[in-house]
Chain A
Amino acid sequence: MSAIIDHPPVAPDLAPPAGPAPAGAVATTPDDDRVHRLLRGLKRKYGGRITGELAMPAQAARFTALPPDLHPRLRAALVARGLTRLYAHQCEAWDRVRAGEHLVVATPTASGKTLCYNLPVLDAVLTRQAKALYLFPTKALAQDQVAELSELNQALAGAAAAATASVSQARSNECAGIQRKTGVSGGFECGVGRAGERGVAAESLGIKAFTFDGDTPGDARKAVRTRGDIVLSNPDMLHQAILPHHTKWAQFFESLQFIVVDELHGYRGVFGSHVANVFRRLRRVCRFYGASPVFIFASATIANPAALAGRLIGAPVHALTDSGAPRGERHLLLWNPPVIDPDLGIRASARSQTTRIARAATRQGLKNIVFARSRLMVEVITKYLKDVFDRDPRRPPRVLAYRGGYLPSERRSGERALRAGRVDSVVSTSALELGVDIGALDVAVLNGYPGTIAATWQRLGRAGRRNRPSLGVLVATSDPLDQYMVRHPEFFLGASPEHARIHPDQLLILMDHVRCAAFELPFRDGEAFGDCTEDLGEMLAYLRDEGLLQRTGADGGGQWFWVADSYPANAVSLRSVAEGNFVVIDTTGGQQTIIAEVDDSGAPGTVYEGAIYMVQSQPYQVERLDWSGRKAYVTKTRADYYTDAIDYTKLKILAEFDRQERVPALSAADGIGAARHADGDAETTRAGADAAMAAVAQGEVHLVRRYPGYKKIRYYSHDNIGYGHIDLPDQEMHTTAVWWQLHPRALARAVAATFGSRERLVEGFLGAAYALHHVAALRVMAEVPDLGRAVGDGQGRWFAAIGADGRGQLRGPDNQPLDGPPAGGFEPTLFLYDNYPGGVGLSGPLFDGAAVLVADALALVRACACTGGCPACVGPILPGDEQRPSSPKYLAASVLRLLAGHPGDGGDRRADAPTAAGTSAATASRRWGDA
């Protein structure tokens, strides 16, 4: 009968269960055996593919007693739910919030973060009618949280009733049962406390928690505003609906004492920069109503939770990182697919390994999750798993795909199926990284390095939530970053997670929100906008000149009033710098059904005419794309291939902000000499300008991206079976970039001595760009797609791309192939650009660390085990190219050496000796660690 105790009854993971710690009991469940059996099996059969292993022992819990000053009814409710003590960090959170500190709780998944904020909030609601605003990055998470609060509230009601007669008990339970149905818009309301109803009225609770989002009906909104104790919303609603109408929320703001921000780690990049400005506006409005709420953040593990939260609200935030919660035993394997073509350095695909591991886990009866890096890969892997496990259409599916772009209803039903344990294997993008409650899983397989260490742990944390042993497998792809990680396991296993960065003063974003703030409340002379460093007066004057503001009053005592007839928040989307999602409409059988949404930036590369677009691995073909109407019309298809868009990018330099010359290094052994120069005083570099070899610069660029066509790729074989033409307008963007150029003298010398021709040099630039791009993503702790790379001449006269034949080509401004660079100066330029309009602050750190970056890229290329270049270092190469006297690897290394300021070529013409390479890679990794 052992199967019956398959899922031992464990208390909900938000707080420790009462009584003796169950750790010992859990250790002998069959799940343990199965996880260990899978682990043993994988190690026995595939030992050679496992390059690193980490085992983390189970961790015991640290408890403290419930705080003595806890509101008695809240205490009773917790006890009624079996919570008679807290984890140590929950108690510390209580103490700090009570002391009025802004707080961020950054403890692992399933450590009871929710109670860290719910406890002080519920206590304050009960004791002093405080109000709280909870913000979640998505609607779904807010709705999850209402359910959670509802349970607590029902426990409160239940506990209250238990204190009185049993008749009352029955009534209160009945009442609790119907609350969620009668509550406003997914909210709940404990209506037990109707005045004058026996003893219950005085004892029971009326904590009202409502969601407020785009789905909240108009007639329910007033009730939310005036009666909600806890309002659960998202930053977008705060930005577009609450702040611009703050007078309607006056009562709420006057009593607002807490702002809870969950999933803090998601507030980075463009979104985080927007939200920091929304918080500047929020705090302004709060001040107007005399409120100064405490912020409580909850975050997954990142390196700088306190700094990020502090930057978001412009005030110091204390970080709580030491978890008192128990953890099950955890195992992690780093997995490198086997080499199948040693000459080309070609390995089996990560996809094949991932599906193999997921299949094994599913067959062992272990619930598993597969994370893929793209929506396309989610669909492909789902198809492969469904082909094995969901062959019988009459049975409920065991494999589920989950990703952004699905309709909310489909995602909700997927989540329900997961929670109910009906799904054995779920394949997801980062969409499930967030705290969506999907229940307990045993195994997490990552198809490719997610790009950051923080995201890796976040995804691995999806397995083993409930004090059970778990297994994570990180399967490396052929990307350079993955290969570096998997071949240097100490880097990953020893590194701390990254810093999440935001750039609230990005000019376009900042101006958007100054505009919104001026609409909400007039600015006064001398007022600051949060901790914004731009000149607010200049910005306001600019808005006045635009006709939006009017200034009154004397110098120094003036006010800036909004006078335009517009609603600025409607023109600002927090999620992007561009607007307008595309909807995907299925027209199969004459119907028109919306099946998905694609964001503006993703659309050109996914829903072009002819594209295969997949939903739950069902392929649809795009028949027509209505670009201006933002609609893609698709029909179901049975195609045996999928499609992958090709894109070309050209850049033009608009303004150069800063420039550093590279002089020949004194010590030419490796890149350290150059690095030392860059980090040393500026005079050294200036003095050597006469002898300059190369220069690195940063500034603003104008970028045009074009999608000329797409490849058709057959399932399973992954053969390229054809091309299609894409007819779309160019995508234009203005952003910041860092770029490298060779000094004309050095260039001429290098072409003559090392490369032999300009074409070879350009090929070297392309390979160097490939390596630099991946190393740079690691350096600035961004994901690879956050940055873009390009090789061109900086004037937009030509740019270089890998053509359909796999060779580097020069192309003119209209993408036409060129035989050679146009007349005039030949100035090849290697760009890494910030892939967001206006830039979000990525190119600055790249410029500052340019020397180390080039040294790292050089180390990556030299250390690679391939002979002539491969996708793990300089990008895919053609068969036979590694036999060329100047292999792509040699060319790229030569360019990188020149960029580092070394005269001469890339060393051995074929490749650097692998032994020497090992040392330099180790040096590089140490430097990363130091940096």
Chain B
Amino acid sequence: MSSLRERLRRVRGDAVTAPAADASTAPGPAQPSLAARLRRLGAARAGAPQPAPPAAVTAPVERVLDEAALAAELGAERLAPGVLRLTQSRPLALAHGRCALRPEPAAVSLLQPDAPTDPRGWVVLDTETSGLAGGTGTWVFVVGLARWRDGHLALVQYLLTRLDAEAAFLAQVRTDLAAAELLLSYNGKTFDVPLLAARLRLARLAETAAHLPHLDLLHPLRRAFGGVWPDCRLATVERRLLAHVRADDLPGAEAPAAWLAWLRRGDASRLGAVLAHNRVDLLSVAALPARLAAVHRAPAAHGGDVLRIARWRLARGDGIAARQLLVAAQAETPSAPARHLLARLHLRAGDWRAAVALWEQLAAVGDAAALEALAKHYEHRAKDLRRALACAQALPPGPERERRCRRLADKMPGDVDRRAIDD
């Protein structure tokens, strides 16, 4: 091992950068810098990502602010060095897009049955982070919270302005969340809450929020529109469902760079925009439960995915509501799986005529499952063996068709042209 150490010493101490041709000359400059050594080795690492320094690093900074000036400019209070809090109030009377911001306990209960019904315990949560990579190297630098109070929505945003103030920042957030009974978020279950948990661990603070009931609105939204819309980004949701169009919005993807610009150079020019972006996120999440509940009550009317919502209803034990949803959507020529589900629900409700009508529609276009259901229906319930056989014969070739046809043929001896069965 000592020889390796020895070699390292030599590599570092006596390195000669001159080419070998004049290697016999005196030793050159003392020690190449780490950067120079890495640059030389870099040739071999063409595949490895070399994060280029952000282009903005060299851009001139218009105004360099200190933290106090930043707080003043944002209209925030300075809770501790590195921790700013911005408080705003939004009258509920004011619409967000074309949506009201009133709390809707019925809507929330529909989407999250275990949710407490008193809106005073609800907290909307949205964070801004230093990136999407995940793991312990991703920071939460804005925590935005919104709560319903008399006549208004109270918005509180915490901004971390110094890396070494994270513990104080998180302690504030914890205190603020202590009374929360329900979280509302968009993708918070997967992203914001685990990330906060990681940050709290790193700061050696006890976990919070992780065990609260949590209505992550991404899930009902995916249910309703995941198969319908090209994507489920919050901006898409706002445009299509809330009729809200963001003006002068800083795209969320630029938030990390805006924060880094502040950390590196005191360039606060875009931090205000990040906070504004976060506030819009909070308002949209606050407005979403009412809209999504409406979609879940009448998916067809909103262009939502009737089948998935009906299935969800069924999974929650509400077959009646599922059937109603599907019946209401019947005018829209529902998909084959939707018709099958409705037929099943009809059957379950004892309305086999309605079920047969649906199967007949499907069988007319050669749907094998419908043919099989009809064959069973005619054989066992309607006792119409001839029609049962006709359905069975229309089944795609295979053992199932053969078995069924034979059994039917056996039940009605002499009555059938057997060749029709065997072909």
A208, B201: Cα distance in complex, Å: 25
Cβ of A795 < 8 Å from any Cβ of B?
yes
Digit string of A749-775 for contact with B (CB within 8 Å is 1, else 0)?
A: 000000000000000000000000000
Cα distance A507–B57 when bound, in Å?
27
One of A501, A533, A655 near B40 (C-beta < 8 A): A655
Q: Tell yes or no: B134 within 8 A of A by CB.
A: yes
The interface residues of chain A lying within 8 Å CB-to-CB of B231 are none
Listed A/B pairs (8) with beta-carbon separation below 8 Å = A247-B198, A507-B41, A550-B163, A566-B137, A567-B137, A654-B40, A655-B19, A845-B4
Give B15-52 as 1s and 0s: 1 = Cβ < 8 Å from A's Cβ atoms: 11111110110000000011101101111111111111
A interface, how many residues as a size bin?
35 or more
Which residues, 142 to 184 on B, are CB-close (under 8 Å) to A? 162-164
Asked whether any CB of chain A lies closer than 8 Å to the CB of B333, the reply is no
B contact residues around A580 at 8 Å (CB) = 47
Contact A553 B164 (CB under 8 A): yes
Q: Closest residue to A560 on the B side, CB-wise?
A: B163
Report the interface size for chain B: residues with CB under 8 A from the other chain.
62
Query: Which of B4, B8, B16, B131 is A656 in contact with, Cβ under 8 Å?
Result: B16
Q: Which residues of A contact B393 (CB under 8 A)?
A: none
Establish whether residues B136 and A657, one from each chain, have CB atoms under 8 Å apart when the complex forms.
no
Give the CA-CA distance A562 to B256 in the complex, in Å.
13
Apart from A550-B163, A655-B40, what 16 extra A-B contacts exist at CB < 8 Å? A247-B202, A507-B34, A508-B38, A511-B38, A522-B163, A542-B38, A547-B51, A552-B163, A567-B133, A579-B48, A653-B19, A655-B17, A658-B14, A697-B23, A699-B16, A733-B44
For A655, the closest partner residue in chain B by CB is: B17
A789, CB-defined interface residue at 8 Å: no
Provide the bound-state CA to CA distance between A519 and B134, in Å: 11
Q: State A396–B168 Cα separation when bound (angstroms).
A: 69
The answer on a CB contact under 8 Å between A732 and B164 is no
- Asked whether any CB of chain B lies closer than 8 Å to the CB of A565, the reply is yes
* Neighbour of A838 across the interface among B41, B54, B139, B197, CB < 8 A: B41
| Contact status B40-A844, CB under 8 Å | no
B264 lies within 8 A of chain A by Cβ = yes
Cβ A844 vs Cβ B3 within 8 A: yes
B135 at the binding interface (Cβ < 8 Å):
yes
A505–B41 CA distance with the chains assembled, in angstroms: 14
CB of B260 within 8 Å of the partner chain: yes
Contact check, B132 vs A844: say whether CB atoms are below 8 A apart. no
**Inter-chain contact B3/A734, CB cutoff 8 Å:** no
A571: nearest residue on chain B (CB-CB)?
B49
Scan A682-709; emit 1 where CB is below 8 A from any B CB, else 0. 0000000000000001011010000000
Q: Kindly report which residue of chain B lies nearest to residue A551, judged by CB atoms.
A: B163
A594 within 8 A of B: no
Task: Please tell me if B10 contacts chain A, counting CB pairs below 8 Å.
Answer: yes
Q: Inside 8 A of B10's CB, which chain A residues have their CB? A: 657-658, 844
**Do B137 and A247 touch across chains, with their CB atoms under 8 A apart?**
no
B137 with A547: CB separation less than 8 A? no
Residues in A with CB closer than 8 Å to B137 are 244, 518-520, 562, 564, 566-568
Q: Does B1 contact A (CB under 8 A)?
A: yes
Q: Give the distance to chain A from B262, nearest Cβ to Cβ, in Å.
A: 11
B320 at the interface (CB under 8 A from A): no
- Identify which of A550, A552, A564 gathers the most chain B CB atoms within 10 Å of its CB: A564
> Is A548 in the interface zone, CB < 8 Å from B?
yes
Partner of A565, one of B21, B132, B162: B132
B7 at the interface (CB under 8 A from A): yes
- Enumerate the 9 nearest inter-chain pairs by beta-carbon distance, A residue then B residue, closest first: A565-B131, A844-B7, A519-B137, A837-B44, A247-B201, A734-B44, A653-B20, A244-B135, A247-B198
* A125 CA / B186 CA spacing, docked (Å): 41
B139: nearest chain-A partner, CB-CB: A563
Contact with B along A230-250 (1 / 0, CB 8 A): 000000000000001111101
- CA separation between A325 and B201, bound complex, in Å? 47
Query: Is A521 engaged at the interface, CB distance under 8 Å to the other chain?
Result: yes
Docked complex Cα distance between A257 and B275 (Å): 45
With known contacts A565-B256, A795-B21, A848-B3, A559–B202 Cβ distance under 8 A = no
* Chain B residues positioned under 8 Å from A577 (CB to CB): 44-45
Chain B positions within 8 Å of A699 at CB level: 16, 20
Q: Are B4 and A503 in contact (CB under 8 A)?
A: yes
Tell whether A734 pairs with B40 under 8 Å between CB atoms, given A247-B197, A841-B7: yes
User: Is there contact, CB below 8 Å, between A735 and B44?
Assistant: yes
Instruction: Decide if A578 is an interface residue (CB 8 Å cutoff).
Output: yes
Is B332 among interface residues, defined by CB-CB distance under 8 A? no
Residues in B with CB closer than 8 Å to A794 are 20-21
